[in-house]
Structure 1
Amino acid sequence: MQTVDFSRSFLTFRTDWTKKPSSTASHKPPYTLNTVRIRLECVCTIEDAQGYREDFALGASCKTEVVGAKRDLWLQPNADFRPIYGRTKFMNLKTYAQVDQSVDFYPPKSEKQSERQVGDIAEAFDDGGVEIVHAKGEVLQSDQEVVEATLANESLVATTRLSTPRYTVTLTYPVKTMNANQRDWVYQTDTGPVLLPDLDLEPDELISGMELAFAAFNHPDWVEFIVREPVPVGEGVGVYHYARPIRWDAHNQVIRLRS
């Protein structure tokens, strides 16, 4: 079988200010050209019975920065930044020290940057897209095989399939943290973040409803997520935290990558 090789799968976007200003920037860059390459952390494939199918790719976390400066590389206030790309649209997640914190755009606009900025890839960037590289994989058939592969430091990928009356969702993600018990042959994933879609939305709205979650399972038939959401920590103050548990009936597989 084939599965995603996350070590070679990337999301990229290029800004070229000689052609058009970036619609996602919050500062004037020192240079007019920059291409960003971000490793993927999850591929979320959504399908329906009418033939709709789309891959949504989650990029790894990075921080807001000034690229190429001689000093003061980190923007203040600083944000955790994660891009999510669909076929034609993107959503940038920016998380500051507290919920609802934001900064101005550059060049200035009438509104501030949203924590969840959704846009068209072709309009926002000079170029951009996702390259998902596949490699040979082997589905591990038993708990013992999963434990043994874990303790042998094999590269592992998980797939989790979710279904509603309208959509089928397949999450594919690298297993970055795994628990393994070779006495009782018990394993448990604890890994993320992954993309968790709002499956009540129409296809063209799905990207705007994506949330981040960590996934855990120790059985092929169900999965539990812990979902990132705003959490109050004081009067009028909230932070984003992985706090809300959800359990889904699912079909899970653990796959060993073959070189």
Structure 2
Amino acid sequence: MQAIDFPNSYLRWRTDWDTVPSKTASSKPHFAINNVRIPLDSRCRIEEKTTGEAREFVLGVSCKTERVGAPRDIWTQPNADFIPVFSRDQYLMIKTFDRVGQRVQLYPPTLGEQSERQVGRCEENFASMKLDLTWKEGTVLDKTEDIVQAVLGDRPLVARTEYEDDRYAVILDYPIKTINVNERDIFYQTDTGPHLYPDLSRDPDELIEGMELAFSAFNTPDWIEFIVRVPTPLTDDISVYHYSKSVRVDTKNTVVGL
């Protein structure tokens, strides 16, 4: 079975202020050109069953908001965790500050404030963008014993989770980073993420706007439990983004050894 080699798969984009001024910057750039390479944490393929139209989304790894090329004070304040979600033609920039509702000024200020979830079209914000997925031949590990031995032998593992509703069929691919195994009782349980968690109530063109982040765990091929990142109240006035919403889904889970 072909599986994604996540350590060698990347999201790349190029900003060139001389040709396509950025609409997602929060400070004046030190250079007109910047090339970004971000490793991937997951891939999500969603197919609309009645039309057969499929859309592919990737999740980049988390980083921090920064001023590229600054001689000092690299980290922007207030600082945020930054994580990108991309399709072939759209992007979603997710920023997590110390509390829900925090906003920062875009650059130039005439663009207004930047929200925690900024959506746009790639051609309007980047000089170029590329989803560089590396596929590798792997072995489907059907038996729990094989999964246990693969973990004890330090073999890289990738998961594929498939499920559907009345309208869409979903395929999630993601690396298994953390996993528990027991060679005496022959048991395994994943505990990994973050990866994408789609909102399937949306129309195809709006799917990227509804993408959330989740961790997941499964110990069987038949179901999975997601723990989804959502606004979580601390007080009556303050909420933070936290992985706190548990969702159980009937799925087909496949473990692949690379």
Q: Which residue of 1 aligns with 2:53?
A: 52
Q: Which residue of 2 aligns with 1:42?
A: 42
Q: How does 1:193-212 map to 2 (within 5 A)?
A: 193-212=194-213
Q: Which residue of 2 aligns with 1:237?
A: 238
Structure 1 CA distance, aligned partners of 2:163 and 2:53?
16
Query: What is the identity, as a one-letter code, of the residue corresponding to 1:160?
Result: T
Q: Which residue of 1 aligns with 2:26?
A: 26
Query: What is the identity, as a one-letter code, of the residue corresponding to 1:234?
Result: T
CA deviation after TM superposition for structure 1 residue 141, in Å: 1.3
Indicate the SS of the match to 2:150.
Answer: helix
Indicate the SS of the match to 1:94.
Answer: strand
CA deviation after TM superposition for structure 1 residue 235, in Å: 2.9
CA deviation after TM superposition for structure 1 residue 14, in Å: 1.0
Query: What is the identity, as a one-letter code, of the residue corresponding to 1:188?
Result: Q
Fraction of identical pairs, as percent: 51
CA deviations on 1:120-141 (whole Å, 9 max, x unpaired) are 0011111112111100110001
Q: Which residue of 1 aligns with 2:67?
A: 66
Indicate the SS of the match to 1:109.
Answer: helix
Q: Normalising by structure 1, what TM-score?
A: 0.97
RMSD: 0.9
CA deviation after TM superposition for structure 1 residue 166, in Å: 1.0
Indicate the SS of the match to 1:223.
Answer: strand
CA contact (8 A) 1:217 1:224 kept: yes
Structure 1: which 5+ runs fail to align? Answer: none
CA contact (8 A) 2:42 2:175 kept: yes
CA contact (8 A) 1:64 1:78 kept: yes
CA deviation after TM superposition for structure 1 residue 110, in Å: 5.2
Q: How does 1:239-258 map to 2 (within 5 A)?
A: 239-257=240-258
Q: Which residue of 2 aligns with 1:122?
A: 123
Q: Normalising by structure 2, what TM-score?
A: 0.98
CA deviation after TM superposition for structure 1 residue 20, in Å: 3.1
How many pairs were matched up? 257
Structure 2 CA distance, aligned partners of 1:23 and 1:16?
11
Indicate the SS of the match to 1:99.
Answer: coil
CA contact (8 A) 2:20 2:124 kept: no
CA deviations on 1:179-227 (whole Å, 9 max, x unpaired) are 0111101000000011111111111010000010001000000000000
Structure 2: which 5+ runs fail to align? Answer: none
Q: Which residue of 2 aligns with 1:179?
A: 180
Tell me which moved more, 45-54 or 189-198: 45-54
Structure 2 CA distance, aligned partners of 1:21 and 1:47?
33
CA deviation after TM superposition for structure 1 residue 46, in Å: 0.5
